[in-house]
Structure 1
Amino acid sequence: MAKATKKQALGRGLSALLKDPSNDIQSVQDKNADKVIGNIVDLELASIEVNPFQPRTNFNEESLRELASSIKELGVIQPITVRKLGFEKYQLVSGERRFRASKLIGLETIPAYIRIANDQESLEMALVENIQRQDLDPIEIALSYQRLIDEIQLTQEQMSDRVGKKRSTIANYLRLLKLDPIIQTGMRDGFLSMGHGRAIINIEDQSIQLDIYEKIIANKLSVRETEALVKNYNETSQVVVPKKKPTQELPVYIKKGIKDFSEYFGNKIDVKVSSNGKGKISIPFHSEEDFNRIKKLVESAK
C-alpha cells in the first residue's frame, strides 16, 4: 500500500505542473517536457477519454469488479499509459481495465505515464501493447494484427519484430478472419478454441464451415476429432462425425474414491482406467498459486 501511495504522491507535483496553462506541454521539445514525459503522473480520471483505437471490445464485468476490489485495497500498482491531446486532456493508450475499475470504485485520480504521440503512433502503441496481453481472445488478436496491416501498413515481418511473435504465428491468427462471422463469434464466446478454428479454416466454403461448427458444438468434438472430420470432408466431400469409442465405465471403487480425492485437493480429479485395470489420476491446477497449494497438501501428507 505504501509503495503505491508513494508513486501517486510523487506524481502530484507533476500534476500541478500540467495544470499551469503557461506550461502546456505539446511536444518533447517544450519546456519541462522532460519532467513529465516518461514519468508517473497523478491524473484526474475526468481528464482522460477512452481510446477509440482500443482493439479489445469485451470486458468481463466480474473480472472488472475483482480488479476494482484489488485497487481499492492496494491502489493502482501498474500505471496506465495515456497520450496528451491538449491542456488537461488525455487519451488512453493502454490500461483500460485499470481505468474502468478505478472509475467503478469512485477514484478521482490514477497514476499514468504520459506520452506525446500522433494518431497513427497511438494506434500502433495501443495495438502492440494490447496484443501482448494474455486475456485477449484469438479473434481480438487477429483483428489487431489486421489493423496493423491496414492502418499502419506493417508487413508480417515488421509485425513479427514489433510484437515478438513468429511470422507463422501471426499468419495463423490472420487466417482465422477467413472463418464465417458466426464461427468467429463462437470463438470469442469460448465455444471453440483456436485449434478448432485452425482446423475449420481448411474448408473454404463457409456454408460447410458452419455445418462443421454445428457438429462440433452438438457432439462436443475435440480439436483432434475436428481435424479428422475436416480431413474426411476434403477426401469424400461429406461431413461425417467420426464415431467415438465407447467410454469404459469406471469401477465402483474408483467412483467412490474420486469424490474423496476431489474434496481433498479442492479440484475435480480425472481418472482414466484401461481394460487391464491400470489407470492414471490427473490433478488439474489453475495457476502457480494453485499448484503450490496442491504441492503443500502432498507434502503435508508425507
Structure 2
Amino acid sequence: MAKATKKQALGRGLSALLNDPSNDIKSVEDKNADKVIGNIVELDIDYIEVNPFQPRTNFSEESLQELASSIKELGIIQPITVRKLGVNQFQLVSGERRFRASKLIGLKTITAYVRIANDQESLEMALVENIQRQDLDPIEIALSYQRLIDEINLTQEQMSERVGKKRSTITNYLRLLKLDPIIQTGMRDSFISMGHGRALIAIDDQTIQLDIYEKILSNKLSVRETETLVRNFNNPEEENTKESPSKETENEEDMPKFVKKGITVFSEYFGHKIDVKVSRSGKGKITIPFHSEEDFNRIKKLVQGGESK
C-alpha cells in the first residue's frame, strides 16, 4: 500500500511540474529537466500537436479503426513519445497512429513518454523510429532515408549505425527514388513489390520503365520474369544468342526455296509436320516428331524401308 501511495504522489508531483509556468522546461539544461526527461505521464490529448516532421503520410482508415477498437478494449499498451514545447504544449515524436486512434474513440488523455528535443533532434527521432516500423511501404522507408541525408546531413554509414541496417540495404531503398513517380505510387499501393522496383531501376529511361511497368501489371509478371524482361531489353544480342545460338531460322517464310519444297515432301512421307531449322550458312537440321512407341516404330520402318531401296 505504501508503494502505491508513493507512486500516486510522484504522478501528482510530475503533473504539477509540467503545468507550472515557473518550471517551463525547454532544454536539458533547465531546472527540473531531469525530473521530466524519460518519465511516462498521462497527458491531456488536446495539449498534443502532430509532428510536422512526420515522414509517414499514408494512414489507412480501416487499420486506424482496428487500432482504435484495440485501444478501447485494452488501452494504450505502448506509450507515444512527445517532446515538450512549453507549458501544456507537446508535440508528437512517434506514435501518430496510436494518437489518431485514441482521438477517434474520444479519449481525453493518453499515456506519453516525455522528451526534450530541438527541431532537428525531433526530426531525426521521428525518422529513425519510423524506419524501424514493419508496416511501411518501401517508398516511405526510402523517403525517410533521403530526409536523414538531406535534412540531418547523415552519411549512409551513420544511418547504418543509427537504424541497424546494412549500408547496402539503405542504398537499395534510396535507388527506388530513381523510378518514375507513377511506379513509386504503384509500389506504395502494393501493385508491385520492391523486387519489381529494383529490377526496373536497371532501366534509365523512365518512359521505358513505364512501358515495362504496364506489362508487369497487365501480364501479372513475377519478379523473376520482370528481371528477365529488363535483362533482355538491356542486352538484346544476348537474348538472341540464348534463343538461337547458331542464328537458325524457324520462320518458314525466311527459309530457302529448296527447304520450303522439301518440308512438304517430308511431312507427307512421315505423316507429321516436320520441323526444319536453317542457319544463314545454309546448314540446318530436320526434326521428326513422334507421339507414341507405335508411332516411333512406324517412322523407323519408313526410314529403314527407304534405306533398303
Which amino acid in 2 is paired with 1:199? A
- Are the structure 2 counterparts of residues 136 and 12 from structure 1 closer, same or farther at C-alpha, using a change threshold of 3 Å? farther
Q: What is the Cα deviation at residue 67 of structure 1?
A: 0.7
1:24-83 alpha-carbon deviations (Å, 9 max, x no partner): 212223232222210101111111111011110101111111111111111111110011
User: Structure 2 CA distance, aligned partners of 1:224 and 1:152?
Assistant: 37
Q: What is the Cα deviation at residue 235 of structure 1?
A: 1.1
1:255-289 alpha-carbon deviations (Å, 9 max, x no partner): xxxxxxxxxxxxxxxxxxxxxxxxxxxxxxxxxxx
Which amino acid in 2 is paired with 1:181? P
1:218-245 alpha-carbon deviations (Å, 9 max, x no partner): 00000000001001101129x9xxxxxx
1:202 equivalent to 2:211? Answer: no
User: Structure 2 CA distance, aligned partners of 1:151 and 1:58?
Assistant: 21
Q: Secondary structure at the match of 2:42?
A: strand
Q: Secondary structure at the match of 1:113?
A: strand
User: Structure 2 CA distance, aligned partners of 1:171 and 1:117?
Assistant: 28
Partner of 1:257: none
1:28 equivalent to 2:9? Answer: no
What is the TM-score with the length of structure 1 in the denominator? 0.74
Instruction: Determine what percentage of the aligned residue pairs are the same residue.
Output: 84
1:159 equivalent to 2:159? Answer: yes
Q: What is the Cα deviation at residue 8 of structure 1?
A: 10
Q: Secondary structure at the match of 1:83?
A: strand
User: Structure 2 CA distance, aligned partners of 1:207 and 1:9?
Assistant: 66
Partner of 1:14: 14
- Are the structure 2 counterparts of residues 205 and 97 from structure 1 closer, same or farther at C-alpha, using a change threshold of 3 Å? same
Query: RMSD over aligned Cα, in angstroms?
Result: 1.8
Q: Pick which of 168-177 and 62-71 moved more.
A: 62-71
Q: Secondary structure at the match of 1:204?
A: coil
Alignment of 1:118-157 (within 5 A): 118-157=118-157
Gaps of 5+ in 1: 1-6, 240-302
- Are the structure 2 counterparts of residues 142 and 22 from structure 1 closer, same or farther at C-alpha, using a change threshold of 3 Å? same
Partner of 1:111: 111
Which amino acid in 2 is paired with 1:58? N
User: Structure 2 CA distance, aligned partners of 1:16 and 1:180?
Assistant: 53
- Are the structure 2 counterparts of residues 9 and 148 from structure 1 closer, same or farther at C-alpha, using a change threshold of 3 Å? farther
User: Structure 2 CA distance, aligned partners of 1:186 and 1:9?
Assistant: 53
Partner of 1:213: 213
User: Structure 2 CA distance, aligned partners of 1:32 and 1:153?
Assistant: 32
Q: Secondary structure at the match of 2:91?
A: strand
Q: What is the Cα deviation at residue 11 of structure 1?
A: 4.5
1:159-210 alpha-carbon deviations (Å, 9 max, x no partner): 0000000000000000000000000000000001000000000000000000
Which amino acid in 1 is paired with 2:64? L
User: Structure 1 CA distance, aligned partners of 2:11 and 2:77?
Assistant: 14
Q: Secondary structure at the match of 1:192?
A: coil
Alpha-carbon contact 1:28-1:116 (below 8 Å) kept: yes
Of structures 1 and 2, the larger Rg is shown by 2
Partner of 1:177: 177
Which amino acid in 2 is paired with 1:20? D
User: Structure 2 CA distance, aligned partners of 1:65 and 1:12?
Assistant: 32
Alpha-carbon contact 1:176-1:198 (below 8 Å) kept: yes
User: Structure 2 CA distance, aligned partners of 1:8 and 1:91?
Assistant: 25
- Are the structure 2 counterparts of residues 52 and 217 from structure 1 closer, same or farther at C-alpha, using a change threshold of 3 Å? same
